[in-house]
Structure 1
């Protein structure tokens, strides 16, 4: 899959997901607004009916007509608090009964608290809570379904059920309203439950959409990861082919020359081609060992042979071995040791390979005469081995990636540096097995500094 194809897929998929989220948001918002408007209209109408029933009851029992205004009787003080102007005397028990009847008629199944304004104390006096009032309506004939409930009015039911009950007045709770004198207030403490019950299906849809988005994100991650692994595999195969092709070609050509019987008459040429075969065979062996070495590290079957090592002497000897392994004479490595010899516990072979790999990178990634400075210093809690070079340096965005397996800094189609991208991955893993740390930073004015930190 091409790079441009992946970009188009990502853009289209992102736009699609954002579009779904926007549509879902507006649907959910409209649903909440609709439910809020429906609740307000149902509650307002139920409270108007309650006020009208109170006025009708007073007119029938007291024999006078109230100045009640049915069109402007209900005010919404807050999101869950309503005030109802009756402009007449309010019987608390009748109010309780009528509230339960009307709320049930409009399917308002919420806990509520009601209170009546008391002129003498200038306070709202609290009545019975919804849970207590519910018992009353359940016991009333109209709700229990007694035979005569079909012919009795709400006022007759109230008188039959509450005739001998005293009025209950409790502590003040709800806020007052200076606009009216004869009024009552109704408060819904759990109004959010009404919305949650009506938008529950939308919550389920949103949850499903969230799962789809997570699955989509994971799919994109897998696509990019597979593409990255494909690029790594491609680069590794190209590097592997290049690294093996060159020595194999040299060995093949040298072998053909040696097959000529007349080569015996030219001992110098015989020695030269034998040397070429030996060097190229050694080069192939080193490359194969690197691959096998990394396979062993990946399987975590490395057994460290920790020994007491004199650090100054070991680093100096390792640098000398590195010099002798190079095709040309190398005299540009400067070593700065500790004033006094110190010992560390490490595996000699792997410790030596760590230094070798860092020095090898310093030589390979330098476009001019290399200058390498190896410095050992000691602090209170650790020992630091710094290897500074004057190479091409490492861009900031790649400093955390260079220790990844097979990773090489992109250079386009140019492959002028040999290697598989295994050296620094090996360095990272072996320092980890030793419980050490490896870091990299810029070396001003150019180059890099690799630092191995060994805790005491």
Structure 2
């Protein structure tokens, strides 16, 4: 599962990088197209102005370079130097004709600036047939002081007009973006489904392994008990009956754990909070695990707060939490030496369970609280379980408004720290 998941994650990473590059290239070309359309607009307006100078007597010396008489102080504003007062009707008519001849189809506000009055003396709104915005959307014409009279051409919706020319590019870019997003969503969905399938497969394998051995032991023990003359051997009868009882207890415990996980997954925990001493509950958890600790020759030391720590929480669920952590500390060590400490930090009660096991890698530390995840390094693959315990512990702690952290290094054991509010 690890290799397959890593390969799929690599594919997703590469796909994400490629999608990002494609989007970046698309944005780059959209910017280039905008610059091109912007340049084309300026060229068309300049051609229209030259045509206007040819059509009308606006300056005394027509032999001068017309371009020198055009000023473009702002992207949407053009100033045309004049030496005389032109005939207004002819001016507006010719201006509209020149703009349409050179494909400038956006509204324009024209005005004549008088040097003597330092103000516009005449204004006209030119609404072209295919103007991008309706005539009612007018912007004020800015006044720029000059030492000569001029005709001002102001294009208030120049930016919108240029974007209109880019509709095809914008639409194709947007379509490509939608396709890429859909592709990314599909890849993510497939990854999620694959992860769920692998998780389900791992769970089935864990489940089979967890129940196969006890059932095989029970079957063998039952066959022994069915042998003729077994009643004449009370010690053997007692021994095999004890084995069956132990295996059934183990199966019942695992089944109960599965039911609890399934219930808490579909329902919020129904907490029945009460006030109790954390030290006393931890000691109860240690006592409950005494047979397992004795079997593994585990040494459990406690460093409890001398004053005792009272918390208000669900006693049953907190007991399950403590048992789970201590049980893991015993199971995941060859010669278990465990230290359990309690202390306070501000308004939080802290419980630290430290073991001398083989430790957990930094990569696995991020996953151990995930459901069905089991560390498979070292000898841990021989440890029974469904990979549900720590996920259950995390849920209980978080339902109490607390948090759980792990500090570990491979070969140096692990320390699980629970922090829950005391009130």
Give the TM-score, by structure 2 length: 0.82
Q: Provide the residue aligned with 1:28 in structure 2.
A: 30
2:266 aligns with 299
Other structure's SS at 1:450 match? strand
Q: Secondary structure at the match of 1:415?
A: helix
Q: Does the aligned pair in 2 maintain the 1:74–1:82 contact within 8 Å? A: no
Shift of 1:301: 5.8
Aligned to 1:106: 102
CA displacement, residues 210-263 of structure 1 (integer Å, 9 cap, x when unaligned): 222221221111121122222221221111111111111111111111111122
**1:107, distance to aligned residue in structure 2 (A):** 4.0
Whether 1:372 aligns to 2:338 is yes
Contact 2:342 2:351 (8 Å CA) reproduced: yes
Number of residue pairs aligned between Structure 1 and Structure 2: 407
For the pair shown, the structure with the greater C-alpha radius of gyration is 1
Q: How many Å apart are 1:328 and its aligned residue?
A: 0.7
C-alpha distance after superposition, 1:314-361 (max 9, x if no partner): 221221111134561645111122222343233332211101110111
In structure 2, runs of 5+ residues without a counterpart are 129-140
Matches within 5 A, 1:328-339: 328=295, 330-339=297-306
What is the 5 A alignment of 1:14-413? 17=19, 21=23, 24-25=26-27, 28-29=30-31, 31-55=33-57, 66-69=61-64, 72=67, 75=70, 77-78=72-73, 79-84=75-80, 88-91=83-86, 93=88, 94-114=90-110, 125-131=119-125, 173-174=143-144, 176=146, 184-300=151-267, 302-326=269-293, 328=295, 330-366=297-333, 368-411=334-377
Deviation at 1:288, TM superposition (A): 1.0
Give 5+ residue unaligned stretches, structure 1: 59-64, 136-170
> What displacement does 1:120 show?
5.8
CA–CA distance in structure 1, aligned partners of residues 370 and 175 of structure 2: 37
Contact 1:254–1:277 (Cα < 8 Å) also in 2: yes
- What's the offset of the Cα at 1:295? 0.9
1:398-429 residue CA offsets vs partner (Å, 9 max, x unmatched): 33321111112344997222111010011011
Distance 1:265 1:229 in 2: 53
RMSD between aligned alpha carbons?
Answer: 3.5
- The farther-off stretch of 220-229 and 301-310 is 301-310
Instruction: Report the more deviating stretch, 14-23 or 287-296.
Output: 14-23
User: What TM-score do the two structures reach when normalised by structure 1?
Assistant: 0.77
1:13 to 1:332, Cα distance in 2 relative to 1, 3 A: closer
